[in-house]
Amino acid sequence: MRDASVGHQCPECVSEGRRSVRPARTAFGGGAAGRQGYVTKTLIALNVLVMVLSIASARGGDAAFGGSGFGGLMGGSTPLTDWGAVLGQAILPDGSVGGVAQGQWYRLVTAMFLHYGLVHLLLNMWALWVLGRSLEAVLGRVRFLALYLIAGLGGNVAVYLFSPVNQPSVGASTAIFGLFAALFVIMRRLGRDTSAIVPILVINLIFTFTVPGISIAGHLGGLVTGAVMALVLAYAPRTRRTAFQAAGGAILLVALLGLILVRTAMLTG
């Protein structure tokens, strides 16, 4: 028997009562479990693991520090970044022609988990830690993960569309910029002050346009895609909210797919 406010209850009665209680939901339909930040922590762990594998694949050199990007603080490329970076179409180190246009679509996803060195990784993971926990708490785990992945994909699709075809690009910053935009949208939807977000976003945009080696297309693509996905999540009608959010995310993915097909046709036609 279990102690209750009045007398005692059997374990079966307690279990049945718990099943009849509606679980707590966030303002946007997510589960309260998002407050624990499990998705954010998992994404950070995954990025760190991939960084370790990337350095290990390099067998020395400047894979961790001392590369050419960000004033010389970024690490260099590795066999793993060469394999997974967003690349339109180019001759690979083994002499073959590769890239997204050659059917290597996986690059549009793998690139958001790869980084050029530890400084690159630490900058992005710090931003993910700060932004991710707040957004995951208010959106819930599934919606936050969808936002992160779609924003990252949108940024990489923008790289494919607008960057030189032989210029590789990696980094979680495509998704991070999507989180910046999403936080602004979510805060506005909740009627909260956004004055602290705008200066940080402006500073990051200044870095994007002034620091050599940073993908402008990737950052802006992630920013726009994250904003659109956040609008879908934040302004879905309360009735059939989950269905509306899922449909909006699916339409956005289809639109990105269409852009990929158009760009591929341009490069291979």
Helices (H), the chain: 11-20, 38-58, 69-72, 79-84, 107-110, 118-139, 141-162, 173-189, 197-210, 216-234, 241-268
Write phi, then psi, for 69 (nearest 5 degrees). -80, 160
Catalytic residue among 54, 77, 173, 215: 173
DSSP helix/strand/coil, 158: helix
Q: Any catalytic annotation for residue 219?
A: yes
Amino acid at 131: L
* 70 Cβ contact list (under 8 Å, min separation 6): 119, 120, 211, 213, 214
Strand partners, 91: 97
Q: Which is catalytic among the residues 77, 115, 120, 219?
A: 219
Q: Look up 115 and say whether it is catalytic.
A: no
The encoded tokens of residue 132 equal 């991710």
For strands 90-91 and 8-9, give the pairing.
unpaired
Q: Among 136, 228, 215, which residue's Cα sits nearest to residue 178?
A: 228
Catalytic residue annotation: 173, 219
